[in-house]
Amino acid sequence: MVGQPHEIVVELASPHDMYLGEEEAREASNLPPVDGGRDAWLALAGAFCLEALIWGFPYCYGIFQTYYSTHEPFASEPAGIATISTTATAIMFMSAPGVALFVQRYPRLRRVASLVGLVVTCVALIAASFCNSTAGLLATQGVLFAVGGLFLYFPAMYVIDEWFVARKGLAFGVVWTGTGFSGAVVPWLLQWLLNDYGFRTTLRVWAVVVAVLSLPSIYFLKNRLPVTRTRTSRPMDWSFLKAAPFWIFQFGNVTMSLAYFLPSLWLPSFARSMGMPSFSGPLAVCLVNVAACFGYLLQGQLVDRYHVTIAIFMSVAGSVISIFLFWGFATTQPMLYIFALIWGLSGGGFTANWAGCATALKTSSNSLDTSMLISLMCVGKGIGSVVTGPISEALLQVGPWHGAPFAYGSQYGPVIVFTGATAMLGGTACLGKALKLL
How many angstroms separate the CA atoms of 98 and 86, rounded?
Answer: 19
Q: What is the mean pLDDT of residues 53-73?
A: 84
**Burial of 5 per CB tally in 10 Å (0-12, 13-18, 19+):** exposed
Average pLDDT (280-289) is 88
pLDDT exceeds cutoff 50 at 15: no
Residue 234: predicted pLDDT: 61
* Rounded distance between C-alpha atoms, residue 131 and residue 129, angstroms: 6
- pLDDT value of residue 366: 63
Put simply, whether the predicted model's pTM sits higher than 0.95 gets the answer: no
**pLDDT for the residue numbered 215:** 95
pLDDT of 89 above 90:
no
Q: What is the pLDDT of residue 427?
A: 94
Mean pLDDT along residues 93-120: 89
Q: Do 254 and 376 meet the contact criterion of CB atoms below 8 Å apart?
A: no
Higher pLDDT, 161 or 115: 115
The CA distance from 16 to 25, in Å, is 12
Provide, rounded to the nearest whole percent, the portion of the chain with pLDDT above 90. 43
Q: What is the pLDDT of residue 437?
A: 86
Mean pLDDT of 118-128: 96
Mean pLDDT estimate for the chain: 85
> From CA 227, how far away is CA 106, in angstroms rounded?
11
Residue 206: the pLDDT is 95
The top-scoring range by mean pLDDT among 220-234, 324-338, 378-392 is 324-338
Q: Which residue has the higher pLDDT, 103 or 209?
A: 209
Q: What percent of the chain has pLDDT over 70?
A: 90
Q: Are 36 and 138 in contact (CB under 8 A)?
A: no
pLDDT band at 310 (very low <50, low <70, confident <90, very high): very high
Point out the least confidently predicted range of 56-70, 106-120, 161-175. 56-70
pLDDT for residue 168: 87
Is 29 buried (19+), middle (13-18) or exposed (0-12) by CB count in 10 A?
exposed
- The segment with the largest mean pLDDT, out of 98-107, 270-279, 316-325, is 316-325
Q: How far is CA 197 from the centre of its chain?
A: 30
Highest mean pLDDT among 238-242, 315-319, 378-382: 315-319
> Could you tell me which of 95, 88, 30 has the C-alpha nearest to residue 58?
88
Residue 327 has pLDDT above 60, yes or no: yes
Mean of pLDDT values over 162-191: 87
Q: Which helix (H) or strand (E) holds 291?
A: helix 280-305
Inform me whether the pLDDT recorded for 17 exceeds 70.
no
Q: Is 391 exposed, middle or buried (0-12, 13-18, 19+ CB in 10 A)?
A: middle
Does 7 score more than 60 pLDDT? no
Rounded Cα–Cα distance for residues 60 and 399 (Å): 28
**Cα–Cα distance, 370 to 360 (Å, whole number):** 11
Secondary structure letter of residue 197 according to DSSP? H
Please return the burial class of 23, using the count of CB atoms within 10 Å of its CB with bins 0-12, 13-18 and 19+.
exposed
Supply the pLDDT for residue 8. 35
For every residue of 379-392, DSSP letters joined together read HHHHHHHHHHHHHH
Domains located in the chain, CATH noted: 32-230 (1.20.1250.20), 239-434 (1.20.1250.20)
| C-alpha gyration radius of the chain | 22
Q: Report the pLDDT value the prediction gives residue 29, as an integer from 0 to 100.
A: 57
Confidence of residue 365 (pLDDT cuts 50, 70, 90): low
19 vs 11: CA distance, rounded Å = 15
Query: For 30, which DSSP code?
Result: T
268-279 burial: b if 16+ Cβ within 10 Å, else e:
bebbeebebeee
Any residues with CB less than 8 A from the CB of 208 and at least 6 apart, and which? Answer: none
Would you say how long the chain is, in residues?
438
321 vs 364, higher pLDDT = 321
pLDDT of 192 higher than 60: yes
337-373: b (≥16 Cβ within 10 Å) or e: bbbbbbbbbbbbbbbbbbbbbbbbbbeeebbbbbbbb
**Which residue in 418, 417, 429, 170 sits closest to 313, CA to CA?**
429
Which of 122, 152, 169 is CA-nearest to residue 55? Answer: 152
6, pLDDT greater than 90 = no
> pLDDT tens digits, residue range 23-59?
444 555 577 888 888 889 999 999 999 999 998 888 7
In this predicted model, which residue has the larger pLDDT, 75 or 93?
93
Show the 3-state SS of 56-83: HHHHCHHHHHHHHHHCCCCCCCCCCCCH
Instruction: Identify the pLDDT of residue 62.
Output: 74
CA–CA dist 287, 229 (Å, integer): 45
